[in-house]
A = this chain, B = another copy of it.
Amino acid sequence: MREFLPPGWGVQGERGIAFVIAGPSGAGKSSVIAELLRRDPRLSFSVSATTRPKRPDEVHGRDYFFVSREEFLRLREEGKLLEWTEYQGHLYGTPREEVERKLSAGRDLVLNVEVRGALAIARAGIPHPVVLIFLVPPSWEELVRRIQARGTESPEALKERLRIARAEIKEIPKFHYLVVNADLGEAVEEILCIVRAERRRLVRWSG
């Protein structure tokens, strides 16, 4: 294939691509991402740092780096976060070093970040393609039902989560792709196709 391309040109799959998956609470990001990683061995997960409490099914270093507020602020001050955001009183951030190391080794990365974080990563100017995928539940009713079913929310937290979801949904036009998670298997198939298609996309490498 190389012999057909002029100097400086390639397809995105020749270098690492960052696939950023965002969407409101209840969209099913974590389940979708777990399945993506299982299905496509070329994908790695970029573990975020957060100050929010660990849920029972989560593992430190696999789902998140669970850190104290002090540790988080130190990382941020030292410029070690690619983006950070506050969400429902908790801080979330993407460690720059981990992302850049994996991408420059040619790994394709999946990032599970808040909506504003996704947009910040796209603007961060990393020398790799950043593909923004917005995941939604099939309807607003289903979104409310899924958050309630989680059962970990106080009425106030639920109300706040829905307010945030409405604000997040307004950012959809800034994303590249919109995937509806009505059926987990279908949503995963669609994102695997997006991954495969983006690897074949022509690109002029800047560096």
Contact = CB atoms under 8 A, between A and B. Distances in A.
Nearest to A169: B4
Contacts of A201: 176-177
A136 B197 contact: no
Contacts of A56: none
Interface in A177-207: 177-180, 189-190, 192-194, 196-198, 200-202, 204
Contacts of A87: none
Interface size class of A (residues with CB under 8 A): 20 to 34
Contacts of A190: 196-197, 200
Contacts of A189: 196
A178 B4 CA distance: 10
A140 B194 CA distance: 29
A12 B202 CA distance: 20
Nearest to A2: B139
B178 A139 contact: no
A133 to B, nearest CB: 8
A63 B140 CA distance: 46
15 contacts: A1-B136, A3-B139, A4-B136, A4-B140, A4-B178, A5-B172, A176-B201, A176-B202, A177-B202, A178-B202, A190-B197, A193-B193, A193-B196, A194-B197, A194-B200
